[in-house]
A and B are shown apart, each in its own frame.
Chain A
Amino acid sequence: MAILEVQCLEKIYTTRFGGNQVRALTNVSFSVEHGEYVAIMGESGSGKTTLLNILAALDKPTKGDIFLEGKPLSLIKEKELSSFRRDNLGFVFQDFNLLDTFSLKDNIFLPLVLSGKNYKDMNNRLKPIAVKLGIEQLLEKYPYEVSGGQKQRAAVARAIITNPKLLLADEPTGALDSRSTDSMLKIFSDINSEGQTIIMVTHSTKAASHAGRVLFIKDGEVFHQIYRGNSTNEEMYQKISDTLTLLATGGDKNE
């Protein structure tokens, strides 16, 4: 069974005074299997952020539904949404969203503390993750003391420490330099190879070339998708570039 089923998603924003309607998503359907690494690409305004927000249960679709392990999100009560998000989803954001009032360690602990875990438990979970992400020396530091790449690694640690079913990443390399980007993408691949399901929204061809599958969104619809198959990252990069060119020149749906 697929871990995530997205069925006929439609999202219409109504402007404040009820005048214009903006259709952000028209008809989006796809599914994600266990352990998959999916990148979602599209230009600005294509609806990918809306899609991610709906996947994250931060926003509600106008039509359609999402099933996480067969359970529809629309049936979760408003009150339980936060704890649902905390227990099932991990988030990595473009601008890190670390709280500067906490040390990196406390930032990583935040979701666990909110779920009421005890300190020993949390520490045991943190150790292997910190080693894996190479931040065990930085745990006592505060966000303002470390680089962007290090901040993002802490954010990844925060996202995966709850063992989420789904890791959602929104432009995770958007604010990083190329070296940090490389190591961050390697981290995502490593995590994925350990069985973590990842959905990443991105602009960057390079970031997407590490994924197992790339979905292209245009005008609120899934326009195209590419599977990696046996291709290397470089071949994947080439495929994605070709598709993007096609998208930009306005080709019809092909294949």
Chain B
Amino acid sequence: MNSLFPKLAVQGIRKNKKIYLPYILTCIGMVIMYYIISFLSYSKSVQNMKGGSDLQTFLSIGTGVIAVFTIIFLFYTHSFIMKNRKKEFGLYNILGMGKGNITHILIWETLITYLISTVSGLVLGIIFSKLAELISAKILGDTWQLGFNIDVKSVISTLILFAVAFGLILLNALRQIHLSNPINLLHSDKSGEKPPKARSILAFIGMIILGVAYYISCTIEDPMSAITLFFVAVIMVIAATYILFIIGSIVLCKILQKNKKYYYKTEHFVSVSSMMYRMKRNGASLASICILSTMILVIISSTMCLYIAKEDSLNDRFPRDIVIELDSTEDKYIESLRNAVDKVIADHDVKYDNVLEYRYLSFAGIHKEGTTITLDTKVNDFSNVKQVDIIPIDDYNAIYNKQETLNDNEALISVKKFKYNNDSINIEGFNDFHIKKHTDNYISNGKTIASIFASVQLLVSQEKFDEFCEFFKEQEAESRYYGFNINCTPEEQIKIFKEIEKEIKTLQKNDSSFPAVSSESIEDSRSNFYTLFGSLFFLGILLSIVFICAAILIMYYKQITEGFEDNGRFEIMQKVGMTKTEIRKSINSQILTVFTAPLIFAGLHICFAFPIIKKLLEAFGLFNTGLLIAVTIGVFLAFAIFYVCVYKITSRSYYHIVSNKEV
């Protein structure tokens, strides 16, 4: 008797290989992904790479995401398997097996699946982990080491995670078995099907939620509120998608049914009514497919965009090769600084050019609406914080070769990361400025790019600038920007930069009144930049692979369920006088509708998510909207092709089931 249960368990898996095999494959896939990500986030060799520890920080977030996702997802798919196997258990029950015995079988089954998936998953994971290591080295722009290692910590955490997941799944399965009686189990797949109810109010609420989420995304003006509202919008979209797919589609079918002229047409009659049942059964999985697709699209397009544009972002962030900022506008300090720089440059026998030099005064203000910027800095509402730079018009003229003149109550304005259309502006404590011109000549400034806040550059007369300096004297808000390019190799640039920093230290040591100085060099920061975007992209790819696996499995299961359902319906329709071609046509069009719906909705989500994603990427210093559009469209097309392929492949199993009978 003791060896009977494992035997029955193995048989159960084998006989149901149509549903079990994809499940086990997915489990293996999840194990592989989890191990690889966990391996990379612990691996010594990754840690030793340039920027490796940054990558590891991102990846450890990724392990968390995947762990949670794995548990939810496996739980969800296993309930599908249980639905299909209840009949078998009912039969065992009637043939005299107690629920205790069925529990035995289930435990064995779970144990076998657990062992198969973790063992083969870990073996494959260990093999592929080297590949992942090579890819991460490539992304970080570092060389890789030979050698192969296994991370015991990751193996153990993988085993534990999946033990927990399978434990939960087992408990849920046992709960279902114990709560039902044998007859219910036996007929669970044939219980009379109630027609779905149309709950118009809920569908309406779903549409409103979706509308609000879209509205949020489209009306966001600055990156800061994009970050705070992004997750709100995401949750709303997810909720709305589920409501609309499960309930909205049924409501739509009911409305079509009410229209007698439309409904009682040969080509609509069967489709509309069967569609209602299809959606009742599959609404949730379609919504899941839609959400997963949207996530994949958002993740891949945004991280890929950042990765492609890393060079541009770097150049935006560092408008000049070397930038030095003095916390003072006084001429004598810049003079000595310039001399120091000249000396170093001369030592290296290189040329510098493209000098960018200007004075500015910088402070944070709160701007909600209208024309007033207040200075209340204790506000918690970060989305209204604006970085304000006051720049003398003379410096602006010098940079852009212009001859603008302003009197004391006039100003030019240039903004970044938000819109300002008024023709006057008021800064708390000063009189109104009439805005003489809105200019696009924003004076490049890495700080604006690096900062998450929106910013305003206000160009005022020299007198007004002095007045501002006087006003903000306490805060030491005034600075002098000094940046230039040098023509030399990256290594030499870094060397020069270090020497300049040393010279500045000497200056500060010799003159205790010398102001604070911040300095940065593009080459010095390049690798950090590349690591950041490379890591994000890498993580994006890894997460997307997991989501894709999930989406494929859901699709496959959906096809199988539909196949079994349609089988009986096919026969009846034929007896009643539909031709095979009529039935095929109707079924084909239904399946096509059902399958394109998630893709179309995902596309719609992406379109409406575009503004908010654009703002989010601005927080990362990416302003290239054209690139984002191109990448998003490209990723969507690639995904659509992939989606169609998966659909084609999985739909074969559907036709296989349906054509078992003579149709």
> Which residues on A are within 8 Å of B, measured CB to CB?
58, 79, 81-83, 85-86, 91, 93, 97-103, 106, 109-111, 113-116, 118-119, 122, 142-144, 158
Known contacts A79-B579, A111-B577, A114-B577; is A102 also within 8 Å of B273 by CB?
yes
The answer to whether A119 and B569 touch across the interface, beta carbons within 8 angstroms, is no
**B577-588: contact bitstring with A at CB < 8 Å (1 yes, 0 no)?**
111001000000
Q: Is the CB of B576 within 8 A of A97?
A: yes
- The A-B contact count (CB < 8 A) is 69
Minimal beta-carbon separation of A82 from chain B (angstroms): 4
Q: Which of B596-647 contact A (CB under 8 A)?
A: none
Q: Which residues of A contact B277 (CB under 8 A)?
A: 100-101
**A115–B265 alpha-carbon span in the complex (Å):** 9
Which one of B273, B575, B578 lies within 8 Å of A106 (CB-CB)? B273
Residues of chain A within 8 A of B260, CB atoms compared: 119
Residue among A91, A109, A110, A144 making CB contact with B193, cutoff 8 Å: A144
* Interface presence of B215 (CB below 8 A): no
Q: Decide: B572 and A106 in contact? CB cutoff 8 A.
A: no
| Chain B hits for A115, CB < 8 A | 266
From 263 to 278 in chain B, residues with beta carbon under 8 angstroms from any chain A beta carbon are 264-266, 269, 273-274, 276-277
Looking across the interface, which residue of chain B has its beta carbon closest to that of A109? B264
Q: Of A85, A106, A143, A144, which one neighbours B269 at CB under 8 angstroms?
A: A106
Question: Which residues of chain A have C-beta atoms less than 8 A from B273's C-beta?
Answer: 99, 101-102, 106
Contacts A82-B579, A109-B264, A122-B264: A100 and B193 contacting too (C-beta < 8 A)? yes
* Least CB distance, B633 to chain A, in whole angstroms: 39
Once bound together, how far apart are the Cα atoms of A143 and B274, in whole Å?
A: 14
Main secondary structure of the interface of B (DSSP, over half): helix
On whether the beta carbons of B194 and A144 are closer than 8 Å, the reply is yes
Whether the Cβ atoms of B192 and A83 lie closer than 8 Å is no
B575 and A91 contacting across the interface, CB-CB below 8 Å: yes
18 A-B pairs with CB atoms under 8 Å apart are: A81-B579, A82-B582, A91-B575, A97-B576, A98-B572, A99-B273, A100-B192, A101-B273, A101-B276, A103-B195, A113-B269, A114-B266, A114-B577, A114-B582, A119-B261, A119-B264, A143-B192, A158-B576
Contact A101 B264 (CB under 8 A): no
Chain A's closest residue to B193 (CB) is A100
**Interface pair B266/A116, CB less than 8 Å apart:** yes
Which residue on chain B has the smallest CB distance to residue A162?
A: B577
- Cβ of B573 within 8 Å of any chain A Cβ, yes or no, is yes
Residues of chain B within 8 A (CB-CB) of A85 are: 577
Residues of B within 8 A of A99 (CB): 273, 569, 572-573
**Which of A93, A109, A114, A119 lies in contact with B578, CB distance below 8 A?**
A114
Q: CB-CB < 8 A to A86: which residues of B?
A: 576-577
Query: Nearest 9 pairs between A and B by C-beta?
Result: A144-B192, A86-B577, A82-B579, A113-B269, A97-B572, A101-B273, A119-B260, A119-B264, A142-B195
Most buried by A among B192, B264, B269, B575: B264
Complex CA–CA separation, A79 to B579 (angstroms) = 8
How far apart sit A119 and B578, CA to CA, in the bound complex (Å)?
19
Closest to A78 in B: B579
Question: DSSP class of A's interface residues: helix, strand, loop or mixed?
Answer: helix
B536 shortest CB reach to chain A, Å: 48
Q: Which residues of B contact A58 (CB under 8 A)?
A: 575
User: In the complex, what distance in Å separates the CA atom of A116 from the CA atom of B582?
Assistant: 13
Could you say which residues of chain A place their CB within 8 Å of the CB of B572?
A: 97-99
Contact among A79, A82, A93, A118 for B264, CB-based, below 8 A: A118
Q: Which residues of B contact A82 (CB under 8 A)?
A: 574, 577-579, 582
Additional A-B contact list (9), CB under 8 Å, known A100-B277, A106-B273, A114-B577:
A81-B579, A82-B577, A91-B575, A98-B572, A99-B569, A99-B572, A111-B576, A113-B269, A114-B266
Output the nearest chain B residue to A112 by Cβ-Cβ distance.
B264
> Which B residues form the contact surface with A (CB < 8 A)?
192-195, 260-261, 264-266, 269, 273-274, 276-277, 569, 572-579, 582
Which residues of B lie under 8 Å from residue A109 when comparing CB positions?
A: 264, 269
Closest chain A CB from B338 CB (angstroms): 83
Q: State A113–B269 Cα separation when bound (angstroms).
A: 7
A151 smallest CB distance to B (angstroms) = 11
**A113 — which chain B residues lie within 8 A by C-beta?**
264-266, 269
Count chain A CB atoms within 10 A of each CB in B192, B261, B572, B573 and give the residue with the most. Answer: B572
A112: min CB distance to chain B, Å: 8
Which residues of chain A are near B578, meaning CB under 8 Å?
82, 114
Cα–Cα distance between A114 and B569 once the two chains are bound (Å) = 16
Least Cβ–Cβ distance between B325 and chain A, in angstroms: 72
Distance, CA A113 to CA B578, complexed state (A):
11
Hey, which chain B residues are within 8 Å of A102, CB to CB? Answer: 273
Tell me which residues across on chain B come within 8 A of A91, comparing CB atoms: 575-576
Question: Complex formed: what's the CA distance from A101 to B194 in Å?
Answer: 9
CA distance A81 to B581 in the complex (A): 12
B-side contacts of A83, CB under 8 Å? 577, 579
Which chain A residues border B261 with CB–CB below 8 Å? 119
Interface-centre pick from B194, B195, B276, B277 (highest chain A CB count, 10 A): B195
Separation in Å of the B253 CB from the closest CB of chain A?
10
Give the complex CA separation of A91 and B573 in angstroms. 12
Among A86, A91, A100, A101, chain B packs the most CB atoms within 10 A around the CB of A101
Distance (whole angstroms) from the CB of A60 to the closest CB of chain B = 14
How far in angstroms is the closest Cβ of chain A from B213?
Answer: 33
How far apart are A58's CB and chain B's nearest CB, in angstroms?
A: 8
A85 to B195, CA, bound (A): 29
Query: Which chain B residues border A119 with CB–CB below 8 Å?
Result: 260-261, 264
Residue with the highest number of chain A CB atoms closer than 10 Å, among B264, B273, B277, B577: B577
Residues of B within 8 A of A98 (CB): 572
Contacts of B265 in A (CB 8 A): 113, 116
List the B side residues contacting A111 at CB < 8 Å: 576-577
Which of B194, B266, B274, B575 interacts with A97 by CB under 8 Å? Answer: B575
Tell me how far the C-beta of B114 lies from the nearest C-beta in chain A, rounded to whole angstroms: 39
Q: In this complex, what residue of A is CB-closest to B276?
A: A101
> Which B residue sits closest to A141, measured CB to CB?
B195
Tell me the smallest distance from the CB of A176 to a CB of chain B, in Å. Answer: 17
Please measure, in the bound complex, the distance between the C-alpha atom of A111 and the C-alpha atom of B582, giving whole angstroms: 13
Find the residue from A102, A110, A122, A143 having the highest chain B CB count within 10 A.
A110
Bound form: Cα–Cα A83–B574 in Å: 11
B416 to chain A, nearest CB (A): 58
- The answer to whether A110 and B269 touch across the interface, beta carbons within 8 angstroms, is yes
Please give, as numbers and ranges, the residues of chain A lying within 8 Å of B269 by CB-CB distance. Answer: 106, 109-110, 113-114
**CB-defined contacts of B574 to chain A, threshold 8 Å:** 82
Min CB–CB distance A79 → chain B (angstroms): 7
Q: How far is the CB of B21 from chain A (nearest CB, A)?
A: 28
How far does the Cβ of B6 sit from chain A's closest Cβ, in whole Å? 36
Q: Give the complex CA separation of A76 and B436 in angstroms.
A: 88
- Which partner residue on chain B sits nearest A82 by CB separation? B579
Closest B residue by C-beta to A118? B264
In Å, the complex CA distance between A113 and B271 comes to: 12
> Chain B residues near A81 (CB, 8 Å)?
579
- Complex Cα spacing A58 to B575, Å: 8
**Residue in chain B with minimal CB distance to A122:** B264
Residue of A nearest to B277 (CB): A101
- Residues in chain A near residue B264, CB distance under 8 A: 109, 113, 118-119, 122
Tell me how far the C-beta of A205 lies from the nearest C-beta in chain B, rounded to whole angstroms: 27
Contacts of A122 in B (CB 8 A): 264
| A-side contacts of B195, CB under 8 Å | 101, 103, 142
Once the chains are docked, how many angstroms separate the CA of A58 from the CA of B576?
Answer: 11
- B569 / chain A contacts, CB cutoff of 8 Å: 99, 101
